[in-house]
Amino acid sequence: MSERVRAHLMIAGVVQGVYFRASTARMAMGLNVDGWVRNLPDGRVEATFEGPAGAVTQAIAWARTGPPRAVVESAEIEFEEPHAERGFRIL
């Protein structure tokens, strides 16, 4: 079994009003990655991805671009201890 990791992302750019949260949830569920995604009042999107290292790496790579209408200017990523998340939620 692959090591379980957790990544915490802060994504800036044109990332609200472009289906970023719904697309992130769909992508994460397709990769069997747990966690959550939410809009922040300052216009950024915050997300966590937790699961096997390879799947989390794929989720991070996707988030650096986002869905077609998004324009990601930056993605700050911090790795944290896994929290035993189960499922993926839009907050």
User: What is the β-pairing status of strands 88-90 and 34-39?
Assistant: parallel
Q: Please state, in angstroms and rounded to a whole number, the distance separating the CA atoms of residues 62 and 69.
A: 13
Say how many residues make up the chain.
Answer: 91
Q: Of 26, 32, 38, 39, which is the active-site residue?
A: 39
Kindly report the number of other CB atoms within 10 A of residue 52's CB atom.
Answer: 16
Based on the residue annotation, tell me whether 32 is a catalytic residue of this protein.
no
Based on the residue annotation, tell me whether 39 is a catalytic residue of this protein.
yes
Q: Of 4, 21, 38, 64, which is the active-site residue?
A: 21
Q: Mind telling me the catalytic residues?
A: 21, 39
